[in-house]
């Protein structure tokens, strides 16, 4: 249950829990990107206590809200997904676009908000490759196909405060906390010790009385930079294979201008370089 009222109408949110990856640095880049591409927008980050202590003064300047987890369900996990369901209860916004920290916008998406209000929960559905074409690869989606789950991605999602959303996140919590039983009794050909958020939210979508995505909103998806999405072998080092040009929001990959948000995924992406460019643009 929420412990305090929402503090603003709408904004962007991510979770950043440092592990072997400096996720707070990725969130900082994302926050700068949002300030540059989504003028007058608010940005919030959810962190654990250790990560909170590592936030720099420059990062605090970009984070409009920093929320510290009271209960860290992923404290023993290397890949910290078990707190995802808490975003609904911790967001400072009545309407939230929740993002994975390694996703960048390439243009204003102000017009999205009214379309997303058509439903209480909207997960992105399908992805595109860097050439901006819908991906047909099922390399990373075999679990979804084997279990007839909707092709949803939590990398970018919208939710607003409502009874429907409350039920969605209550069910998500239950799936996270009872994963072994659900995996063994309700799913086929699944051996994952820990569930991914994509799978959890797909299961919950299948359980809800109405869809949690809007296929007709073709713009609400992102370019996913995993190799197989591009039709390449999964072991390809993607940022040694493609040429990336960036001028703040004008991001080109192999000379293809990126119109969809870019989920760069590989943390060897130009994070520090982009941070310097955004800092100079926004604060010099």
Q: What is the CATH number of the domain that holds 160?
A: 3.90.550
Within a domain: 224: yes
Token representation of residue 19 = 């592990």
DSSP H helices in the chain: 23-37, 49-53, 57-62, 87-90, 112-116, 142-146, 163-177, 179-186, 197-207, 271-283
In whole angstroms, give the CA distance from residue 17 to residue 80: 7
Torsion of CA 160, 163, 165, 166, to 10 degrees: 120
| Residue owning tokens 């109405």 | 210
Within a domain: 2: no
pLDDT digits (tens, 9 = 90+) for 132-187: 999 999 999 999 999 999 999 999 999 999 999 999 999 999 999 999 999 999 99
pLDDT at 268: 86
pLDDT digits (tens, 9 = 90+) for 188-244: 999 899 999 999 999 999 999 999 999 899 999 999 999 999 999 999 999 999 999
Is this structure's pTM higher than 0.95? yes
pLDDT at 79: 85
pLDDT at 199: 98
Domain count, the chain: 1
Above 90 in pLDDT, residue 248? Answer: no
pLDDT digits (tens, 9 = 90+) for 77-95: 888 899 999 999 999 999 9
Above 80 in pLDDT, residue 2? Answer: no
Residues 6+ apart with CB under 8 A from 258: 106, 130, 132, 223, 251, 252
Average pLDDT over residues 95-102: 98
Contact yes or no for 228/190 (Cβ under 8 A): no
pLDDT at 136: 95
The parent domain of residue 115 ranges over 8-283
pLDDT at 249: 78
Q: How confident is the model at residue 247 (pLDDT cuts 50, 70, 90)?
A: confident
pLDDT at 78: 82
Within a domain: 3: no
pLDDT at 222: 98
Average pLDDT over residues 65-82: 91
Contact yes or no for 175/190 (Cβ under 8 A): no
pLDDT at 3: 67
Helix 163-177 and helix 179-186: axis angle, to 10°? 90
pLDDT at 284: 78
| CA distances to 9, 179, 221, 242, 269 from 263, in Å | 26, 27, 10, 15, 10
In whole angstroms, give the CA distance from residue 258 to residue 235: 23
pLDDT digits (tens, 9 = 90+) for 21-36: 999 999 999 999 999 9
Above 80 in pLDDT, residue 1? Answer: no
């Amino acid at each position: 249950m929420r412990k305090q009222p929402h503090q603003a109408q709408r904004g962007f949110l991510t979770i950043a829990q440092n592990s072997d990856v400096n996720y707070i640095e990725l969130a900082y880049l994302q926050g700068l990107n949002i300030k540059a591409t989504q003028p007058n927008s608010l940005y919030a980050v959810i962190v654990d206590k250790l990560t909170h202590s590592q936030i720099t003064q420059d990062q605090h300047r970009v984070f409009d809200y920093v929320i510290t987890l009271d209960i860290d369900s992923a404290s023993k996990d290397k890949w910290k997904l078990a707190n995802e369901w808490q975003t609904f209860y911790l967001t400072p916004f009545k309407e939230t676009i929740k993002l994975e920290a390694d996703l960048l916008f390439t243009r204003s998406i102000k017009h999205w908000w009214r379309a997303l209000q058509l439903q209480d929960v909207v997960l992105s559905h399908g992805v595109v490759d860097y050439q901006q074409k819908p991906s047909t690869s099922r390399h990373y989606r075999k679990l979804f196909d084997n279990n007839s789950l909707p092709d949803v991605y939590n990398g970018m999602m919208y939710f607003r405060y409502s009874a429907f959303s409350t039920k969605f996140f209550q069910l998500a919590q239950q799936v996270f906390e009872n994963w072994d039983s659900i995996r063994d009794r309700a799913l086929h050909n699944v051996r994952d010790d820990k569930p991914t958020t994509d799978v959890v939210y797909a299961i919950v979508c299948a359980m809800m009385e109405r869809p949690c995505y809007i296929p007709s909103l073709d713009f609400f998806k992102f370019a996913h930079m995993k190799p197989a999405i591009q039709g390449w072998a999964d072991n390809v080092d993607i940022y040694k294979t493609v040429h990336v040009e960036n001028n703040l929001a004008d991001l080109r990959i192999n000379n293809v201008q990126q119109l969809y948000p870019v989920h760069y995924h590989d943390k060897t992406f130009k994070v520090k370089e982009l941070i310097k460019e955004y800092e100079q643009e926004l604060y010099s």
